[in-house]
């Protein structure tokens, strides 16, 4: 019986090559296999208010899921909307909402595991609020505000309520 001794340096190099090859394949799969979170469920306070269908865009990071951007539109006379959805870890749901300077915006989010938060971005791309679960303010400018929803840990199933008066 003979004992074969391997060179520890060559074993480490081989391991690194195999690991690099595996990571390369995972990145290729992630780029070619986009997935989505659970279907969007919307509950609106007045009849014709809408949340438009999702629009996806590729993130600069290489991830399997894609972030989604949707527009919230209130019906004439409506002042609030409730969006029920889920966001996958590492992605964001972005809601755009038109509003006028001086209006009062109230945003709140709840989630089953208390792991969903939102950021508010002004029409001039200024961060107004970060990682909040509730927020009320008088709006400083007219234009499209962005509400960016993400999870603090893992996937997050959430209810987002937006009101403008």
132 has which bridge partners?
Answer: 118
pTM reported for the whole predicted model: 0.62
User: Tell me: the pLDDT tens digits for 87-106?
Assistant: 988 899 999 999 999 999 99
Domains and CATH numbers, the chain: 41-164 (2.60.120.380)
User: Average pLDDT, stretch 1-12?
Assistant: 51
Tell me what pLDDT residue 35 has: 46
pLDDT for 5 equals 54
């Amino acid at each position: 019986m003979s004992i074969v001794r391997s060179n520890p340096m060559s074993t480490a190099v081989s391991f690194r090559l195999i690991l690099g090859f595996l990571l390369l394949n995972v990145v290729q799969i992630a780029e070619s296999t986009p997935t989505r979170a659970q279907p969007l469920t919307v509950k609106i306070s007045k009849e014709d208010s809408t949340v438009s269908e999702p629009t996806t865009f590729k993130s600069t990071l290489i991830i399997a899921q894609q972030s989604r951007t949707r527009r919230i539109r209130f019906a004439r006379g409506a002042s609030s909307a409730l969006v029920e959805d889920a966001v996958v870890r590492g992605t964001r749901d972005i809601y755009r909402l038109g509003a006028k300077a001086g209006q009062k915006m109230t945003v709140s989010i709840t989630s089953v595991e208390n792991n969903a938060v939102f950021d508010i971005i002004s029409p001039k791309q200024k961060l107004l609020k970060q990682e909040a679960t509730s927020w009320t303010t008088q709006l400083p400018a007219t234009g499209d505000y962005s509400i960016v929803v993400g999870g603090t840990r893992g996937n997050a199933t959430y209810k987002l309520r937006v009101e403008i008066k």
